[in-house]
Structure 1
Amino acid sequence: MGVVRHQVVVDAPRERVFDYVDGYQNVPEYLIGVTHFEPTTDQTRGLGSVFDVRVDLGPKKIKAVVECTRYVENELIELRAIDGFEADTTWRFADDGNGTDLQLEINYTLPGGIAGRVLGGIIGPFAAQAVRHIEATIAKKVVARG
């Protein structure tokens, strides 16, 4: 299993940062490679909401269905894969002075064999680029919304 962790302080109130990250329509803006993130249930946020996800990793495209399994308004969002590529994502939000301490953790499981080795070689460099993109995009979009 692989793990990607990142922590950043965003110069905006926690409620605004949470609202932006929680908006499913914003996910392709801040998660690089995500080309499709659409609800499959009438519920589009919070515990029990389910989303169809497609990610373009360059030479490899992956699909997954994720469900929100833990949700605390303005504090926590956890998405667990229930079908397709096995990746679980946890976002944590806390006050940090006038800003927000934002923590992200992604746990993923690679398939076995050659496919897993190839995908593992892609995900490492992709994850580093993705973290920089997440940090820059969330900070820019949330601060711009005032």
Structure 2
Amino acid sequence: MIHIRHAGVARVPIYVAFAYIDDYQTVPDWMFGISEFTPVGEFTQGLGATFDTVMHIGPKQLRSRVEISEWVENEVITVSSLDGITNTSTWRFKAQDDDHTELSVDFAYQLPGGLAGKALGRLVEPIVETAITSTENKLRRNLERI
């Protein structure tokens, strides 16, 4: 499993940061490449909530289904793939003070094994790192405009 981690501080209270990230309707506004994040079933947040996603990477459009596999209010949200490339993204929230929140993300993914997987990893890793950094920066800017 490959992990890419990034952190930054947003000038908003922890409850504002958590509520924004927890709102599935905002995901396409801040998550790199995501154009659709649609609930499947009756739950739209919390443990077990499931979503169909559409991600654009260059000219490619990738569809997948994800679920919330860890959720603790104002602490952590983990989204895990149910199909496609095995991946998880874990967002952690830590209050720096009443008006500043540290947001950290750990994006983990697993590529196929063997030489093909290693070659693909060398191509994909820089793109994923750029996407994670871009996502965190856009998320922070969006939060600070609320």
For residue 109 of structure 1, what is the amino acid of its counterpart? Q
* Corresponding residue of 1:66: 66
Alignment match, 1:86: 86
- Tell me what 2:137 maps to: 136
Structure 2 Cα separation of the partners of residues 118 and 60 of structure 1: 19
Aligned to 1:15: 15
C-alpha displacement at 1:9, in angstroms?
0.9
Give, as a single letter, the amino acid of the residue that structure 2 aligns with 1:106: F
Return the offset for 1:60.
4.3
Q: Secondary structure at the match of 2:82?
A: strand
Equivalent residue number for residue 124 of structure 2: 123
Q: 1:42: Cα distance to partner? A: 1.4
Q: For 1:18, what is the secondary structure of its paired residue?
A: helix
User: Which position in structure 2 is the counterpart of 1:100?
Assistant: 101
CA distance in 2, matches of 1:25, 1:117: 35
Residue range with higher mean Cα deviation, 98-107 or 118-127: 118-127
- C-alpha distance 50-115 of structure 1, shift in aligned 2 (>3 A): farther
Length, aligned pairs only? 145
Shift of 1:91: 0.8
Q: Which runs of 5+ in 2 are unaligned?
A: none
Could you tell me the percent identity over the aligned residues? 35
* Cα root mean square deviation, aligned: 2.0
Listed one character per residue, the Cα deviations across residues 18-66 of structure 1 (whole Å, up to 9, x for unaligned) are 1111111111221111122111111110011001122222254433211
Which SS does the other structure have where 1:47 is aligned?
coil
Question: 20-29 or 43-52, which moves further after superposition?
Answer: 20-29
TM-score (norm 2): 0.87
Runs of 4+ residues deviating >6 angstroms: none
> Which runs of no fewer than 5 residues in structure 1 stay unpaired?
none
